[in-house]
Amino acid sequence: MNSIIGTYECKADAKGRLLVPSGLKKQLSPVLQKGFVLRRSVFQKCLELYPIDEWNAVMSKVNTLNRFKKKNNDFIRRFTAGVKIVEVDAAGRLLIPKDLIAFSQIKKNVVMASAVSIIEIWDKNLYEKAIDDATGDFADLAEEVMGQDDLDYGVS
């Protein structure tokens, strides 16, 4: 799957259902029928929505870890904690399970933000705080991560 583009605002109803914004749904149309995996983020209080093929690619890497090493077993257990298979229903809604709603502190206003080939799902207030907190450090971070002279990112 190609990169997903955009940041979309939507609302969660009392049952934890999100109406997937049309611009996002259009990008996801090739994978809507296959389903998704929803999991807790490692670094933030948000959720990560993986198209099933993306999830399978990640799990292929995880599956190469030696399970006879405690550190690897602990990682696998925590990485897969709370993982759920989810689908977009005929009405274009995505149901977020209650345990993942609690983890991500999603209330009503939600942001669905692209993160290359996955989608982060945030409570809007937490998303804006995370973006604001990172603003001051972003220039340094961008230089450190992307500013290496020996890599060609196709940017002139």
Terminal-to-terminal C-alpha distance of the chain: 25
In the chain, at which residue ranges do the beta strands (DSSP E only) sit?
7-11, 17-19, 36-40, 47-51, 84-86, 93-95, 109-115, 118-123
pLDDT above 90 coverage of the chain, percent: 76
What average pLDDT score do residues 57-73 get?
A: 95
pLDDT digits (tens, 9 = 90+) for 83-93: 999 999 999 99
137 has a pLDDT exceeding 80: no
Domain boundaries of the chain, sorted by first residue: 7-146
134 pLDDT tier (thresholds 50, 70, 90): low
The residue assigned the tokens 């996002």 is 24
pTM check: above 0.75? yes
143 vs 46, which has greater pLDDT? 46
Mean pLDDT is highest, among 2-6, 62-66, 128-132, for 62-66
Q: What is the mean pLDDT of the chain?
A: 90
151 has a pLDDT exceeding 60: no
Classify domain 7-146 at the CATH topology level. Answer: Chemotaxis protein chec (3.40.1550)
In the prediction, which pLDDT does 142 show? 76
What average pLDDT score do residues 102-126 get?
A: 96
148 pLDDT tier (thresholds 50, 70, 90): confident
pLDDT digits (tens, 9 = 90+) for 15-40: 999 999 999 999 999 898 899 999 99
> Checking DSSP bridges between strand 109-115 and strand 36-40, what pairing results, if any?
unpaired
